[in-house]
Amino acid sequence: MAQAPLTLALSKGRIFEETLPLLAAAGVGVPENPETSRKLILPTDSDALRIIIVRASDVPTYVQYGAADFGIAGKDVLYEHMAQHPGGLYQPIDLNIARCRLCVAAPKGFDYQIAVRQGSRLRVATKYVRAAREHFAAKGVHVDIIKLYGSMELAPLVGLADCIVDLVSSGGTLRANQLVEVEEIRQISSRLIVNQAALKMHGPRLQPFLDAFAQASTQMA
Ligand code: ATP
Ligand code: MG
């Protein structure tokens, strides 16, 4: 009897696109594109693997509960997830894909260095509440964190916040909104995450994927 395929959780967009070469290195092709097919369960050309398409921030949840055997998620997402759900996820490989950096950005005219030095309260809008809170706590800066779910760049422009903590790659979105990067918090890339029970149960089937991904990702570093 044929075994059920392993399930890999991905988000569409850059993580899906940048995972395709890793899958190719493992000998797996994905005939359908999630942007056009609208399917949430994507078959591959291998009976050994299927892909599920979920929100980037939901990838760790699907893997942690075992609904996916493994998945790929940004360190930004993993860091926020781990605050609420410690343990349960094995993170064997930095895949070096979807690279960007987590930054503080502020409107062009805002004197961030002075605001930070004066010990005044800073209002910070972000999706990355844990990372932002820990960053400013380490600097001894008092902050009010305003949790947003997207379009953080807008917040300082309409008086919701003094600055934002967000991901930046080219800086194009910041520039288009008259914001400048004032501090880098950390470099971000995506990691492979594996459900621990799946690794015990399906280790021999999972391992070739882990090996192929690890091998291919060193070429991307
Ligand atoms: P959603 O669209 O579901 O709200 P999202 O905006 O975080 O989630 P994506 O934009 O696809 O989803 O980002 C997925 C992951 O890619 C992020 O968690 C991050 O690790 C990485 N990422 C985000 N922005 C960039 C960027 N500008 N350049 C490179 N990688 C990025
Ligand atoms: Mg996005």
Map out the domains of the chain with their CATH numbers: 6-98+189-220 (3.40.190.10), 100-188 (3.40.190.10)
Lowest mean pLDDT among 59-73, 82-96, 191-205: 82-96
Do residues 155 and 164 touch, judged by C-beta distance below 8 A? yes
pLDDT > 90 in the chain, percent = 91
**Residue entry with tokens 């932002």:** 132
Q: Indicate the pLDDT class of residue 162, thresholds 50, 70 and 90.
A: very high
Query: Average pLDDT, stretch 70-81?
Result: 97
Asked if pLDDT for residue 118 goes beyond 90, the answer is no
Q: Atom 15, ligand 1: which residue's CA is nearest?
A: 74
More confident residue, 196 or 220: 196
Query: Average pLDDT, stretch 177-197?
Result: 97
Ligand nearest 55 Cα, by number?
1
Amino acid making up residue 149: Y
For 16-23, the CB contacts below 8 A with 24+ separation are 16/53, 18/97, 18/98, 18/190, 19/72, 19/95, 19/97, 21/216, 21/220, 22/95, 22/97, 22/212, 22/213, 22/216, 22/217, 23/49
Asked if pLDDT for residue 51 goes beyond 90, the answer is yes
Residue 117: what pLDDT? 87
**Distance, CA 34 to ligand 2 centroid (Å)?**
16
Ligand 1 nearest-atom number relative to CA 167: 24
Q: Indicate the pLDDT class of residue 120, thresholds 50, 70 and 90.
A: confident
Do residues 90 and 82 touch, judged by C-beta distance below 8 A? no
Query: Average pLDDT, stretch 124-137?
Result: 97
Residue 158 sits at φ, ψ, to 5 deg, of -120, 15
Asked if pLDDT for residue 119 goes beyond 80, the answer is no
Ligand nearest 13 Cα, by number?
1
Entry pTM: 0.95
More confident residue, 3 or 199: 199
Provide the residue count of the chain.
221
Query: Average pLDDT, stretch 69-86?
Result: 95
Query: Average pLDDT, stretch 93-107?
Result: 98
Asked if pLDDT for residue 135 goes beyond 70, the answer is yes
User: Going by C-beta distance under 8 Å and a sequence separation of 6 or more, which residues neighbour residue 71?
Assistant: 8, 9, 10, 59, 60, 62, 63, 192, 193
Residue 1: what pLDDT? 62
**Distance, CA 26 to ligand 2 centroid (Å)?**
27
